[in-house]
């Protein structure tokens, strides 16, 4: 059981140092996060981007570029393509977004011939350290899939479970959450949740324990579930929250970070390697922990 985000760094240190290919690396917040990650000896970067700008920023922030490979590419979109190529060539184990649009970055990942497509669905997984919960808790999907169809929800759930299992949680507990904890035919998220639960019971979704629909309070509080007469192996000890859509997922993500006192780390799952895609609003610590999360899973 992981209780602190810093444990991701400890876990990453038990594995070989990973190489991380950074697309359009001439970005100060990204290079600062890499500097911290290098200080922890969990990654070695391959920087793809404008070499002059990279060196200028590195000098400003005190980042020693000795021994670090820099691949010259001033076009951000082409930098994403070249960073993906480093993964395909086996030169790097993790991919990270720099100063390139998310659309161009994801296009390079999803390219049918030269990308990193593993399945049809990429999904965002965030891990939160909350002062009000006893262990790290995951939220998916807050950034990628807008209104996922049922088969996409299966993939999103499986992507999240894969991440937890790579982190050493052998049987993660998954709550498929929504507005209510009962099945209501007029509320599609509740019927989808019930079907996901049934698929898990029949081993069509394996390697985890799934329960839903559950309202958020029932998922994170055994006491709340008890008051509502809900008996669930997941309630109060959930590892992963699967949200109905990007709207609820994004609101939950930002509520935890900006009003709930939580800190987070996040990756994109579903590609051949973990993908670090940080937001400008993420803290420096969150960016570092996102790199550590990717390194701990590889």
Residues 81-103: tens digit of each pLDDT: 999 999 999 999 999 999 999 99
Asked if 249 and 285 sit in the same domain, the reply is no
Going from the first residue of the chain to its last (298 residues), give the mean pLDDT of each consecutive group of 10, the final group possibly shorter: 95 94 95 95 97 97 96 97 97 96 94 88 96 97 96 97 96 96 95 98 98 96 93 96 97 95 95 90 87 92
Residue range of the domain that includes 26: 6-118+271-297
Considering the domain boundaries, does residue 265 fall inside one? no
Asked if 137 and 242 sit in the same domain, the reply is yes
What does the pLDDT look like over 140-160, one tens digit per residue?
Answer: 999 999 999 999 999 999 999
Asked if 145 and 250 sit in the same domain, the reply is yes
Q: What is the CATH number of the domain that holds 74?
A: 3.40.50.10950
DSSP secondary structure string for all residues of the chain: ----THHHHHHHHTSPPEEEEEET---HHHHHHHHHHHHTTSEEEEEEE-HHHHHHHHHHHT---TT-EEEE---HHHHHHHHHHHHHTTS-SEEEE-SS-HHHHHHHHH-TTTS-BSSS--EEEEEEE-TTSSS-EEEE-SSS-SS--HHHHHHHHHHHHHHHHHTT-SS-EEEEEES-SS--TT-HHHHHHHHHHHHHHTTSS-SSEEEEEEEHHHHH-HHHHHHTT---SSTTS-SEEEPSSHHHHHHHHHHHHHTS--EEEEEEESBSS-EE---TTS-HHHHHHHHHHHHHH-
Asked if 100 and 165 sit in the same domain, the reply is no
Asked if 31 and 138 sit in the same domain, the reply is no
pTM over 0.85: yes
Asked if 249 and 275 sit in the same domain, the reply is no
Asked if 106 and 127 sit in the same domain, the reply is no
Asked if 205 and 275 sit in the same domain, the reply is no
Q: What is the CATH number of the domain that holds 227?
A: 3.40.718.10
What is the count of structural domains for the chain?
Answer: 2
Considering the domain boundaries, does residue 1 fall inside one? no
Considering the domain boundaries, does residue 264 fall inside one? no
């Amino acid at each position: 059981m992981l209780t602190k985000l810093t444990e991701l760094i400890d876990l990453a240190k038990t594995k070989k140092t990973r190489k991380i290919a950074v697309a359009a690396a001439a970005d100060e917040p990204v290079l600062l996060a890499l500097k911290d990650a290098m200080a922890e000896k969990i990654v070695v970067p391959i920087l793809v981007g404008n070499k002059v700008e990279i060196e200028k920023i590195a000098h400003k922030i005190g980042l020693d570029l000795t021994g670090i490979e820099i691949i010259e590419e001033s076009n951000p979109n082409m930098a994403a393509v070249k960073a993906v190529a480093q993964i395909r060539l086996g030169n790097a184990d993790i991919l990270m977004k720099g100063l390139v649009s998310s659309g161009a970055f994801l296009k390079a990942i999803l390219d049918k011939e030269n990308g990193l497509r593993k399945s049809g669905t990429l999904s965002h997984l965030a891990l939160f350290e909350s002062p009000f919960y006893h262990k790290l808790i995951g939220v998916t999907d807050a950034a990628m899939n807008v209104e996922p169809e049922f088969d996409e929800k299966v993939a999103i759930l499986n992507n999240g479970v894969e991440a937890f299992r790579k982190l050493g949680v052998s049987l993660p507990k998954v709550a498929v959450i929504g507005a209510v904890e009962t099945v209501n035919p007029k509320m599609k998220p509740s019927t989808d949740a019930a079907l996901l639960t049934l698929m898990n019971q029949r081993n069509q979704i394996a390697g985890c324990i799934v329960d839903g629909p559950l309202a958020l309070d029932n998922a994170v509080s055994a006491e709340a579930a008890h008051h509502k007469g809900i008996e669930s192996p997941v309630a109060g000890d959930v590892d992963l929250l699967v949200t109905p859509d990007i709207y609820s997922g994004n609101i939950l993500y930002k509520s935890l970070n900006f009003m709930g006192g939580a800190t987070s780390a996040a990756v994109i799952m579903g590609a051949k390697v973990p993908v670090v895609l940080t937001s400008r609003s993420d803290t420096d610590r969150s960016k570092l922990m996102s790199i550590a999360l990717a390194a701990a899973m590889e």
